[in-house]
């Protein structure tokens, strides 16, 4: 019987950019087998070498997680939809103190009554609800694409204390989506720009700024006095760190993630339901899901998901409404469709399950496979843009492989480049001449590093050089006609 397999954006590099594929199958296992037979590059991203489904990929039939049914043997009916749902990746402490919640709610001033009047006439909020918001505190992790609308709407709603953690600086490329920052803020610390904007929206809000990197050593101390933690991060180590710290402290984590045209949102609150690890026990391998800077992002998408996060945060603070606890909301901006999937608390979850094995914060860079190991240091050889230019000028026989996607190549490329998209590198390794030094190029030098590892693991014997900082370094140091992006 025919069933439709939905392919998320993160995996479409391996299905020739197809988002929906019809297969003939009576079980999930058969559907995946047919799929991977047709698209061999997808096999290693869905299954281990032993044939076991990887833990960072969840499979849903319609709205149900197959882990709550018969697993890979879950039967399919004609017209069913099989969805692959992989995890997606897409602040200095001030002397101000964070107020702790007390039973005595603060009164509203006359100016605040006017400002929040549209809330006050809602019976679900009213005066008591608005006073609750004034007495509440929310910590925002990041002031980027998700954190921008989160901060602005929470400030406008009258949340009394907003903490922001960020240590990055405003870059021109941020302005396409990070609406809390403006052109005049380029080069400023994001935390300073965000604080100014929050105060301009609502001077009644207390802003506590932490210009430092969130880590295992400071997370529990930063989180402990806040009511809700809103996660606006764009990387897996911080996402797992936020989840684990919230579980250990009994705090709700308002989750959002975006990639290209797709977004996810949920509320992970271990006291009431599933946590992030219940959904994704392990992260994907480094490089499978590019960051927004490499994979691209529709500018309005984080605004939509960030607003959903703000909505969920306000409901948590008020203690009203039907929250996204135990629900995962999926949004596709390109097809303008929402889907909702059920989540279930995993009794074997390593941090919130019946017998947790994680009882303190761990090394999340290592957990996500991002720490370089000795063998990796020995394998990867780098070449700078200036060094490459010298070798090209002196006529060295090199082959330059650009692993970016075709639409990225249109922005500019090095001379004599051969284009092999990242998802096809291993399959097309025989097109490379092992007798020539090969320079591998991507945008910023991260995907190319992963491509080199994949080629070496696949047995490629030639010398591979990673262009340090990618095509952007060539655009900066050699050819200013090529735009940095």
Is residue 442 among the annotated active site residues?
yes
- Tokens, residue 104: 């005595």
Domains and their CATH numbers in the chain: 2-86 (3.10.20.30), 136-367 (3.40.50.720), 374-477 (3.40.250.10)
- pLDDT tops 50 at residue 377: no
**According to the model, what pLDDT value does residue 13 have?**
76
Min mean pLDDT across 239-253, 357-371, 420-434 is at 357-371
Cβ within 8 Å of residue 431, ≥6 positions away: 418, 420
Catalytic residue among 246, 292, 349, 352: 292
**According to the model, what pLDDT value does residue 375 have?**
44
Cα(174)–Cα(181) distance, rounded to whole angstroms?
8
**According to the model, what pLDDT value does residue 287 have?**
62
Q: pLDDT tens for residues 206-215? A: 999 999 999 9
Backbone angles phi, psi at 390, to 5 degrees: -60, -45
Cα(170)–Cα(185) distance, rounded to whole angstroms?
6
pLDDT band with cut points at 50, 70 and 90 for residue 191: very high
Min mean pLDDT across 150-159, 205-214, 280-289, 384-393 is at 280-289
Catalytic residue among 275, 349, 352, 442: 442
- Tokens, residue 423: 């998802």
Q: pLDDT tens for residues 94-133? A: 334 444 444 589 999 999 999 999 999 999 999 999 999 9
Cα(74)–Cα(198) distance, rounded to whole angstroms?
49
Cβ within 8 Å of residue 112, ≥6 positions away: 130, 134, 158, 204
**According to the model, what pLDDT value does residue 91 have?**
33
Among 98, 251, 232, smallest CA distance to 178 is for 232
Cα distances (angstroms) measured from residue 149 to each of 53, 137, 144, 198, 228:
36, 17, 9, 10, 16
| Residues 167 and 91 sit within 8 Å (Cβ to Cβ) | yes
- pLDDT tops 60 at residue 342: yes
Cα(416)–Cα(402) distance, rounded to whole angstroms?
10
- pLDDT tops 60 at residue 394: yes
Pick the most confident of 153-157, 417-421, 428-432: 153-157
Q: 3-class DSSP state for residue 258?
A: strand
| Residues 406 and 419 sit within 8 Å (Cβ to Cβ) | yes
Q: 3-class DSSP state for residue 28?
A: helix
Q: What residue ranges in 166-317 does DSSP mark as E strands? A: 206-210, 228-231, 253-259, 262-268
Residues in the chain: 485
Min mean pLDDT across 60-69, 116-125, 173-182, 291-300 is at 291-300
pLDDT band with cut points at 50, 70 and 90 for residue 41: confident
Average pLDDT, the chain: 89
Half-sphere exposure (Cβ direction) of 236: Cα atoms closer than 13 Å: 25
- Tokens, residue 457: 């693991």
| Residues 443 and 293 sit within 8 Å (Cβ to Cβ) | yes
Give the residues across from 337 on adjacent strands: 332
- Tokens, residue 299: 């500018």
Cα distances (angstroms) measured from residue 75 to each of 5, 60, 122, 344:
14, 12, 46, 20
User: In the 8-state DSSP scheme, what is residue 145?
Assistant: T
**According to the model, what pLDDT value does residue 153 have?**
98
Average of pLDDT values for 298-320?
Answer: 96
- Tokens, residue 29: 């296992």
The DSSP annotation for 407-425 comes to: HHHTT---TTEEE--GGGT
Q: pLDDT tens for residues 450-485? A: 889 889 888 899 999 999 999 999 999 998 888 788
Cα(341)–Cα(179) distance, rounded to whole angstroms?
30
- Tokens, residue 229: 């933690």
Q: Which residue has the tokens 């006609």?
A: 481
Average of pLDDT values for 2-6?
Answer: 87
Cα(126)–Cα(124) distance, rounded to whole angstroms?
6
**According to the model, what pLDDT value does residue 292 have?**
65
Burial of 439 (0-12, 13-18, 19+ CB in 10 A): buried
Q: Tell me the whole-structure pTM to 2 decimals.
A: 0.76
| Residues 300 and 333 sit within 8 Å (Cβ to Cβ) | yes
C-alpha of 330 from chain center: 13
Q: Characterise 17 by phi-psi region: left (phi > 0), alpha (psi -120 to 50), beta (else).
A: left
- The H or E element containing residue 440 is strand 437-441
Min mean pLDDT across 185-194, 301-310, 412-421 is at 412-421
pLDDT band with cut points at 50, 70 and 90 for residue 405: confident
Burial of 383 (0-12, 13-18, 19+ CB in 10 A): middle
Cα distances (angstroms) measured from residue 351 to each of 84, 244, 245, 347, 391:
24, 7, 10, 10, 52
Among 61, 60, 305, 269, smallest CA distance to 177 is for 305
Min mean pLDDT across 39-43, 225-229, 336-340, 367-371 is at 367-371
Average of pLDDT values for 373-400?
Answer: 82
Among 332, 330, 258, 266, smallest CA distance to 295 is for 258
């Amino acid at each position: 019987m025919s069933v439709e397999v939905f392919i998320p954006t993160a995996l479409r590099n391996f299905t020739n950019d197809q988002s929906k594929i019809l297969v003939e199958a009576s079980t999930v296992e058969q559907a995946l087998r047919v799929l991977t037979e047709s698209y061999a590059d997808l096999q290693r991203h869905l299954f281990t070498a032993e044939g076991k489904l990887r833990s960072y990929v969840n499979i849903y039939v319609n709205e149900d997680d197959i882990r709550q049914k018969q697993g890979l043997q879950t039967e399919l009916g004609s017209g069913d939809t099989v969805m692959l749902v992989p995890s997606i990746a897409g602040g200095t402490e001030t002397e101000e103190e964070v107020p702790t919640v007390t039973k005595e709610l603060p009164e509203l001033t006359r100016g605040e009554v006017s400002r929040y009047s549209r809330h006050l006439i809602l019976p679900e909020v009213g005066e008591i609800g608005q006073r609750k918001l004034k007495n509440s505190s929310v910590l925002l992790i990041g002031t980027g694409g998700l954190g921008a609308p989160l901060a602005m709407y929470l400030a406008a709603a009258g949340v009394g204390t907003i903490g922001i953690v960020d240590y990055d600086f405003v870059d021109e490329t941020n302005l396409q989506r990070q609406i809390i920052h403006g052109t005049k803020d380029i080069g400023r610390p994001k935390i300073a720009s965000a604080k100014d904007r929050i105060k301009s929206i609502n001077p009644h809000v207390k802003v506590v700024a932490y210009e430092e990197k969130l880590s295992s050593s400071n997370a529990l101390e930063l989180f402990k006095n806040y009511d809700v933690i809103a996660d606006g991060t764009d990387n897996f180590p911080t996402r797992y760190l936020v989840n684990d710290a919230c579980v250990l402290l009994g705090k709700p984590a308002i989750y959002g993630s975006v990639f290209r045209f797709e977004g996810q949102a949920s509320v992970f609150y271990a006291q009431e339901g599933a946590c992030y690890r219940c959904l994704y026990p392990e992260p994907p391998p480094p490089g499978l899901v590019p960051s927004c800077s490499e994979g691209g992002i529709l500018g309005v998408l984080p605004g939509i998901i960030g607003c959903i996060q703000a909505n969920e945060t306000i409901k948590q603070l008020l203690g009203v409404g039907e929250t996204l606890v135990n629900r995962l909301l999926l949004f596709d901006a390109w097809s303008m469709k929402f889907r909702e999937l059920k989540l279930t608390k995993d009794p074997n979850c390593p941090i919130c399950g019946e017998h947790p094995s994680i009882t303190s914060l761990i090394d999340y860079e290592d957990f996500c496979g991002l720490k370089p190991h000795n063998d990796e240091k020995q394998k990867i050889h780098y070449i700078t843009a200036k060094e490459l230019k010298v070798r090209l000028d002196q006529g060295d026989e090199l082959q330059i492989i650009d692993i970016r996607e075709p639409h990225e190549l249109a922005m500019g490329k090095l001379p004599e480049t051969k284009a092999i998209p990242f998802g096809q590198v291993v399959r097309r390794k025989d097109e490379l001449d092992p007798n020539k030094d090969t320079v591998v190029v991507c945008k910023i030098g991260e995907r190319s590093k992963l491509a080199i590892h994949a080629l070496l693991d696949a047995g490629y014997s030639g010398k591979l050089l990673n262009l340090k900082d990618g095509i952007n370094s060539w655009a900066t140091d050699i050819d200013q006609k090529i735009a940095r992006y």
